[in-house]
A and B are shown apart, each in its own frame.
Chain A
């Protein structure tokens, strides 16, 4: 497993069968997250090229509005190199549901990206 810590955010990259999974946990609340977040996300794009990818946000406690642009830019760049990307969030948690509903609308133009609401937290 590979771990990346950016402030209060922890990213864990792990292989599960044929899929590569990235678990997001903690919080993203820096005033301008891009300078610290984007280099790590760019590295992940390289790591995940050619793979079937699960991006699991269900354990993320908080993200601020400023974090969405670097995350969406990552998703766009990842969709260009990965075989398939599944974005997973807590469908039963209102703030996650509303946030990722917007992500789903934007991600419609990337045909290999699906945005899926789950009903509970993924197992460790």
Chain B
């Protein structure tokens, strides 16, 4: 008797399960059928810069606000430069790497802007490194930008990184890529 009852129960359960499965399957199809329009926003590449700033401000929330904002600004400027002039679609490494240690912030980016552009950037970085007052140099570049606007040529972002962000800049051209490292000591 017991096996017979058990068998009946198992059979009923299995039918219920299979019926339920079919019912659920139908519901799912109907539900999916009702969702006639699907919306998906894929952000532009440029919006990455906004995401970088936002991520830095969140991840560095325990740091001094000035350091936090300067880091967001510098990471954003370096990413902007790489996206505008030298995005490497085959890159195996991140667009921007931000490393924060107790005494230092280091931001590194890789830029595949081509050799001529890369050497022009290296000249700019050397000019900034050898100038004793990055703020005065930045003002000079802004003034020139008003008199002779040359978007994309002025490289104002690098002058800004030094003058406003308070970061030093170094660059290296190797294997067809320009590596730029911005560093700020923390006191």
> Chain A residues in contact with chain B, CB under 8 A?
27, 29-32, 34, 62, 64-66, 68-69, 72-73, 76, 93-95, 98-99, 101-103, 105-106
The B83-99 residues at the A interface (CB cut-off 8 A) are 83-84
> Chain B residues in contact with chain A, CB under 8 A?
46, 49-50, 53, 65-66, 69-70, 72-73, 76-77, 80, 83-84, 135-136, 138-139, 142-143, 145-146, 149, 151, 154, 156-157, 159-160, 163-166
A94 to B77, CA, bound (A): 16
A108 to B81, CA, bound (A): 30
Q: Are A64 and B136 in contact (CB under 8 A)?
A: no
Q: A62-B53, A65-B157 are in contact. Are A94 and B145 (CB under 8 A)?
A: no
SS class of chain A's interface: helix, strand, loop or mixed? helix
Task: Provide the residues of chain B in CB contact with A31, threshold 8 Å.
Answer: 46, 80, 83-84
SS class of chain B's interface: helix, strand, loop or mixed? helix
Task: Provide the residues of chain B in CB contact with A103, threshold 8 Å.
Answer: 139, 142
Task: Provide the residues of chain B in CB contact with A93, threshold 8 Å.
Answer: 65-66, 69
The 8 nearest A-B residue pairs measured at CB: A105-B139, A94-B66, A65-B157, A98-B164, A102-B139, A65-B156, A69-B145, A65-B160
